[in-house]
Amino acid sequence: MNERIGSSRRGFLSGIGAAAMSPAIGLAGGEIGSRPLAEDLAAEIDFRHAPADRQTAFCFPDDVHKSLVGELGELRLGHPGAGKGGIRDFAQVARFSTLGMEPDVVVEQRIEAPGIPIVHTVLDRPQARMEITTFATREPGEGRVDNVLIEIRPTRRGSVEAIPTVTLRTAGAIQGRATAGECVVSTADHPGRVLLVADAPGSLQGDLLQLRHGTATTSAPIRHILRFPCEGQDAQALLAGLRDPGRLLEAARRTWRKWEPFAGEVGWRLPTRYDEFLVACARNILQARESRGGRLTFQVGPTVYRGLWVVDGHFLLEAARYLGHDREAQQGLESTWSRQEADGGIFAGGGRDHWKDTGIALFSLVRQAELAQEFGYFREMQPNVLRAVGFLKTLRDRAASGTSINGRYGLLPPGMGDGGLGGIRNEFTNTLWGLAGLKATLGAAASQGLSGFDEARSFFEELQAAFLAAARKEMIHHPGGFSFLPMVAKDDPAWKETDAWHRPRPQSGQWALSHAIFPGLLFDPNDPIVQGHIRLMQEVTREDVPIETGWLPHGGLWTYNAAFVAEAYLWAGLADRARSTFHGFLNHATPTWCWREEQPLTGSLVAGYVGDMPHNWASAECVRYLRHMLALEDGATLRLLAGIGEPELALGATLEVRRSPTRFGRVDVIVEPDGPREGCRIRFRRDAGPDPDRVVLPRKIGRLRFASSRGAVLREDGDRVLVEPRAREWEATWKG
C-alpha cells in the first residue's frame, strides 16, 4: 500500500520512595489480566463494543460540508460547529423509510472500503428490505451534492407494495412541488432554498414526504435517488443527475479510488485488519480537516469539535507526519502558534484555563522539527517560544503569591484538568504538560546550540522540584496494595462529597499522566508514579480498556483514552498488555472504522454519549500506535518491534513502514514472518539524521529467538538485542 533533554531518558521523579499515604479512595474493582489473544485479527477485532449511537462521515477531504450518516442511514447535515450546539443539533436531518406500522430494524451498516466512504445501510421490515446508499459528489456544473439512493425489495413473497418516505427535520416550515417525473422540497419562507430533489413525484404532509407508490419484486426493486444540495444550488442544477444515478455513484467511486491515504515518501503495509483501520483513520483525519485563515487546520471532528484543540492537534499533527502529510502538518503547526497572545499564552478550544495548551504547543513545535529533520521554524520561533515560557513562569509566580494548594506547592495555578476534571481546581495535569513542553524545548535548544534559554532552564528545574515534592505528598494508597498519584489534590472539596456518586473517579484526568509517561518521557519506568498509574489503569479495565476515565464517571468509557494507556504500556515494555488494550480500543469503533469520544459500557443504564464522531484524536491514536509497535522513539533510544509478538507473526503477513519520519531520520522497518514457530526476518534502513544512542530489539519475539544478523553488529544483552547505533542498513533473523 500504495519523542528530549540530554542524550538519554532520565527519570526526574525517581527519588520518590514510599509516598505519604492518605485514606484509600475506593475504585471500581477488576481483574488484572487480559483475555487470551486470538491468532486471527479478524476474530480478535470484531467491533464487539461498537457504540449504538453512531455516525459516519462521507464528505471529501478538506470538505467544508461535513455531511454525516447516522446509524439508521439518516442524513445529518449542517451542524453549527464547536461551541454552538450539542451532539444532536443538526440544522437538517432526513430519515428514509416506508409507510407502515412496524419499526425499521438495522441489519447492517458498512462502507464500501476503508478508503471509499460510500455508506450502505440495510433496514428490514417483515415484508421488505431497504438499502440506503449515501455518497458525495462534486460534478462539473453541479457543485457539492449529497446523494441518497434507496432500493426496496421483498423478503417474504414475490412482490410487495411500498410507499417510500423521507422525514425531514429542519428549522421552519417546508413546502413541496411535484411534476410528472420529480419533486422538489424547499423552505417555505425562501422557496429558492432547495432542501432536496427526488426522481419521483411526491406529496408533503408536514415534515413527511411520501414518494410515489410502487411495486417491488426481487428482480425489479423500487429504486429512487434523492439529492441534497450543499451550496445553495437551485433545483435545475440537480435535475439532470436524477436521470442517471449509476453514473453519479460511479463518479464518487472513481474519486475515492484516486485518493491515497499516504503522501510523499511514506509507505505502509500491515495485516488486513490493521491495514483497514490505518487507511480509514487517514481518511477520517482528512475529512475533518479544512482551511481556516489560509492554513489547513487538522480538526478533531465534524460537529461539536469542529475546530482547533491544541492537545488533540499535537497528536493529529504527529499522525499526519506518519502518513506523509508533511506540508499540511507544518500548516497545522502554524495554525496552533497563530493562537499565541501578546502575553505568550496559547489558547484554543480547551478554554482560557487550559494552561497546558501553552506547554503542549511547545512540545508540538519540537516534535514537528524532529520529524521534519529541519529546525529552521523552531529557530525562527525562538522569541515566541521564550514568550510562551515566560507566560508559564508568570502563571507559576502569580499562583505562588496566592493561597491555592497549587500555589503553595509552587506549581502552575488551579486550572481546567479536562478528561473528567471540570471547573477550576487544584490539579496537576497543567503542570505535567508544562514540564513536558519545557523539557522538550530545552532539549531542542541544546541540540541546536541556541542561547537565551538559561531562565527557561532554571524555571524548568524549579517546577520539576516543586512537582516532585508535591507528588510525594499527594500519592494515595489503593486497597489493591499499590499507591498512585491522582490528578486532583487530595484536599479538593469534591473528594469529600457526601454522596459518593458525585466524587471524582481516581482515574479522572489520568490521561495527562499517560502522556507525561509517553511521549512526555518525564519518568523512569520503575518510578512509583509510573507503576501506580499502570496498576490503576489495570484495576479499572473492563471490555479490555480502562473505564470511567473521562466525562462519563459511571458506566461509561472514553474510547481513545485506551490508546494513551496502550502507548504507556508499550513504552513500559508490557507488550501483551499494550496489544490487548489497543485491540479493546479498536473493538469500540464502529464497522465503518470510526469512534465516538465517549460511550456507555455494554449494558450500562446510567451512561450516555459524549462528544464528536468521527472523533479524530482517536483516528490519530490508531495511526500512532501502529507506527510505534514497529518503531518507537524513547528519548535517544530507537526501539524496534516493541509491539510485535506471536499474534502478529502468526498472521504470516509482512508488516512494514517505509520512509517513516523519526528524530533520527527516516526509517524503513520491514518484518517478514514465516509463521509463529518457524522464524522471521527483519530488514532495517535509516536515512541521514542524528545517530541514536542505542537501537534496541527484543531478543525473543514470541517463541522465536534472535539467531543472526548481516550488515551490522548485533549483540544479545539480557532480554534485548543491541544494534550498532551508527549502522544505517542491516538485516537480522529470529528462529524457532
Average pLDDT over residues 590-600: 98
Handedness of CA 462, 464, 465, 469 (dihedral sign): positive
Is residue 428 within 8 Å of residue 485, measured between CB atoms? yes
pLDDT for 469-482, tens place per residue? 999 999 999 988 99
295 band by pLDDT with thresholds 50, 70 and 90: confident
For residue 31, what pLDDT is reported? Answer: 31
Owner of C-alpha cell 446523494 = 147
Which has the closest alpha carbon to 137: 121, 118, 150, 110? Answer: 118
Q: Considering the entire predicted model, what is its pTM?
A: 0.93
Q: Largest Cα–Cα distance of the chain, in whole Å?
A: 83
Share of the chain above pLDDT 90, in %: 88
Q: With H, G, I as helix, E, B as strand and everything else as coil, classify residue 269.
A: strand
For residue 6, what pLDDT is reported? Answer: 31
Owner of C-alpha cell 480478535 = 44
For residue 322, what pLDDT is reported? Answer: 98
Full 3-state SS string of 485-504: CCCECCCCHHHHCCCHHHCC
Mean pLDDT of the chain: 92
Average pLDDT over residues 679-683: 95
Q: Where are the domains of the chain?
A: 62-258, 637-735
Q: And the C-alpha cell for 272?
A: 488486513
Q: And the C-alpha cell for 682?
A: 527483519
Average pLDDT over residues 655-675: 95
Q: How far apart are CA 614 and CA 257, in angstroms?
A: 21
Is residue 695 within 8 Å of residue 640, measured between CB atoms? yes
Which has the closest alpha carbon to 95: 121, 60, 118, 64? Answer: 121
Average pLDDT over residues 72-81: 96
Give, for 581, the enclosing helix (H) or strand (E).
helix 575-586
Average pLDDT over residues 262-271: 96
**What CATH number is given for 637-735 in this structure?**
2.60.40
191 band by pLDDT with thresholds 50, 70 and 90: confident
Does the structure show a pLDDT above 90 at 727? yes
Give, for 387, the enclosing helix (H) or strand (E).
helix 382-400
The answer to whether the 62-258 and 637-735 domains have the same CATH topology is no
Angle, CA 642 vertex, CA 636 and CA 646 arms, to 5°: 165
pLDDT for 200-244, tens place per residue? 999 999 999 999 999 999 999 999 999 999 999 999 989 989 999
| 110 Cβ neighbours under 8 A, 6+ residues apart | 119, 120, 591, 592
Which has the closest alpha carbon to 153: 245, 220, 225, 103? Answer: 220
- The DSSP output letter for 340 is B
Q: How far apart are CA 67 and CA 79, in angstroms?
A: 9
Q: How far apart are CA 361 and CA 437, in angstroms?
A: 7
Say which CATH topology domain 62-258 has.
Beta-galactosidase; Chain A, domain 5 (2.70.98)
For 645-710, strand residue ranges (E) read 655-660, 667-673, 679-686, 694-698, 700-701, 704-710
| 119 Cβ neighbours under 8 A, 6+ residues apart | 56, 58, 69, 73, 109, 110, 111, 132, 133, 134, 135, 592
| 246 Cβ neighbours under 8 A, 6+ residues apart | none
24 band by pLDDT with thresholds 50, 70 and 90: very low
190 band by pLDDT with thresholds 50, 70 and 90: confident
- The DSSP output letter for 735 is E
Does the structure show a pLDDT above 50 at 9? no
Q: With H, G, I as helix, E, B as strand and everything else as coil, classify residue 386.
A: helix
Which has the closest alpha carbon to 322: 370, 373, 267, 364? Answer: 267
| 128 Cβ neighbours under 8 A, 6+ residues apart | 98, 152, 153, 154, 155, 160, 162, 216
Q: And the C-alpha cell for 20?
A: 505519604
Does the structure show a pLDDT above 70 at 17? no
The tally of CA atoms less than 13 A away on the side-chain side of residue 145 is: 33
Full 3-state SS string of 223-255: EEEEEEECCCCCCHHHHHHHCCHHHHHHHHHHH
Residue 604 burial (10 A CB sphere; 0-12, 13-18, 19+):
middle
Does the structure show a pLDDT above 60 at 20? no
